[in-house]
Structure 1
Amino acid sequence: MCGTLTGLVVLDAVMASINGGKDVCCGPAFDAIACKTSMSLATRATSVFQVVGGIASILTIPMIGRAADIYGRKPLFVLTFLCSEVPALALVGVTHFNFSVYVYFATSMLLQMVPALSLFLLWINDCTAPEDRIKISARFEAFKSMEGIFVPLMVKVINGELTVSLIAYLRLLEMMIALCCLKESFQPRSTRARHALSQTWKAVKDVWRDVPRLCSFKATRSIFLLGFFATGTGLATISILFPFCKARFGVSRQTFSLLLIIQTASNAVVQFCITPRLKRWGLRCIFATGLACGAANLLAFMLSPSFSVLLGLATVAGFGSMGGPAFQTLMMDFVDSAATSETERGALLATLLALQNLFVVLMPPLYQAIFSVFVSPSMYGGRLMALPMAFGVFCQFVCILVLLRLSPEVFYPSSSSANRSLTS
């Protein structure tokens, strides 16, 4: 729940630190030139720290997967939520005790280095049959979308510094829920601490040994690269949506929260009610439909003449999220077919997610850097700020064309073919 809340608060905190505590993009201190200049600086600073944390996470995610195979899933969940509390406390220090905003940026890299998504996918992989994964993945995405409904409501009701304190309390609540309510889905290899530590050290030494094996399967390599690129493009365009609306329409985070509520409610409805009923379409069709709808959303948002029109378009934006569960299901199916034993599933899935994270981490800062250039008043007065979204539309359509040319066998990885390719 805290991811959306933090995203809404941090941008305002950075903008305020640049402008002496004032929000120059809305309210009585509005200044169009200062707003665009500050937005350029803020997005540039954010992108730099995201790149640094992302590069570190590419090394740590496979280690987290191997540790989950050694110790079980639940201890790693607790570690993930414990790490998430550190940047939340740093954000409290920024707003309440005048800490530098760079303290938050430095500690937020922990969230990228120990991500919860890989552990949730492992948990789904452990607990579900292959034919149920698209449904469970879609419902998992639906529940994730619920934060986009409740959190913006809290932002509209609870303003100012209390919102930041709420983040810290919610992070603590997440950790307590994981500790007390989450059931272990995988029995660890050994309960002996010395043996577990030796296995962890061995995992650190050969953490990337699965990459050449995964890349040796040509057909799967193509679909994974496509999925990684499409996922990175989608997250990159989402990362500039709030700065885009703030710079173009002068909206505050309270006003933007209404857009988030509508859009994520649409996501939840699509993922909970529609995507699970499309299993007969096949993973390729669901994936392609999600890409096409995502491109249409970006095009509509880019051409929207006012924020009110954006609110109307957000009611159907959820169809652009259909591709996520399909690609997650494909990764889990491949891990099942490629793993030679149950104790390799965490390592293989984590390696795939680390490769995906290479795109997820690098592409949002790239788009933010491009946006920071085109929103600057020196670049035609900031009139070209929508160009990063236009580039995202182009990338999504390229992904659709490549997806439709892939062999159908890619979307149904068989155990024999995958194992042959990985052991050859």
Structure 2
Amino acid sequence: MGTGNPMEMFVHHPLCLLRSVPSLPPLNHLSVCFPSRFRYAVLGAGFAGLSVAWHLLKQASKELKLCIDIYDEVGIGGGASGVSGGLIHPYSPKAKLLWRGAECWKESIELLNIAEAAIISRELDRLTQDLNQNNDESIVWRRGILRPATMKNVDILNENARNCLESCRIESIDKDAAQNLIPNICVPLSAIFMPEAMTIHPQRYLQALFLACKKLVKSSLVSGYEEKEINLHKKSVHKLIELAGEYNAIIICLGAKAGTLPELSGELPLRTCRGVVAHLQLPNDIEDEYGEHSPSVLSDAWLAVQGPRDMVMGSTWDWKSRNYSPNVSAEEASFALEELLPKASANYPGIQKWIFKGARAGVRAMPPKTPLGSLPILGCIDDFVDGKDGTKYWLVGGLGSRGLLYHGWLGKLMAGAVLSCNEDVLPSELTSWKKIKLL
């Protein structure tokens, strides 16, 4: 029997069971009442998973003992996130600001700055060398993005361009101005130019963000606060029950692979789409390099420029594919080039001089369409898992082809929901899919 002290019986309870208790102390004083460590599992080391992990560490009380285990069989950025083109801006193909685009843009830029700072710090102190050996390679190119207009969309592009964010401007430019930005670009009518838009190297960025997580953990220890820990496990989780009871919460950030978990099979309103991207290089004996400050190109086939002689071209759309392998066969690569090269050369004929260096593929988890557009799906999924072990289950999914834009904001939202164990802090537009599913 207990002593009758209400705080004693709370000591071993998960935080999520206590959020409605009036006398519960603020989150930053929880260690007084909850000396045991909180353990969270994040499934997936892509955009969503790394963002959730960072924000869990950042938002948790400094006095709270916290352990985060990230599970991904292929490591950081090994899935669809690492294969993406890395073009980031907050607009639709018609240059209209996306739903909550301002928040998404702000939070993604914040995470990018954090990742860059981690790399700069590593280069200065040389204390950590275990992520990659490309210390002198960039993770971001601030060269802007150009979208050529067509007869069908020129008017709507120009109209929407007038309502852009100050932090990511849209400029309507004519053919001559476009060719000044990208020599020999083929722009029949006009184009829109987003000077603040960026091109990211997805895998390097994710590695840098994980490095930032480790540095945040280290700084908390140096400052004398309660122990924080983050671990990466290159291991598959085939069933959620494998981890049941080991964690206070499990956050599923597996993209299209979330539907392969038996507990979620057939439960998620996601469509799968495999995309192949081709890595191209300009031969050494050709001097016609891509301009140092020339923007990447966004059209029927995009060109993500990573240097004067390196770029990525994409992407194909193979709907309902269940081929999750990042490897691309010679036949699949040939089909991809046949599809993408004519589209890319229509805008940038010089691409014909570039040579094919390899291809990678990833399966996107495309979200359901809503009146507000195709929105990601978030929420607590205890009702789907039917767990009875005290573990809470959460999902971040359906980022589709906009994972780089969405991930910062969604990771921040999900971390807040997990730490408070309160789904109500999430926008209803992102959790409404559950109500439809459970009817």
TM-score after normalising by structure 1 = 0.26
Q: Whose Rg is larger? A: 2
TM-score after normalising by structure 2 = 0.26
Which structure has greater helix proportion? 1
Higher RCO (CA-CA < 8 Å; seq separation 6+): 1
Which structure has greater strand proportion? 2
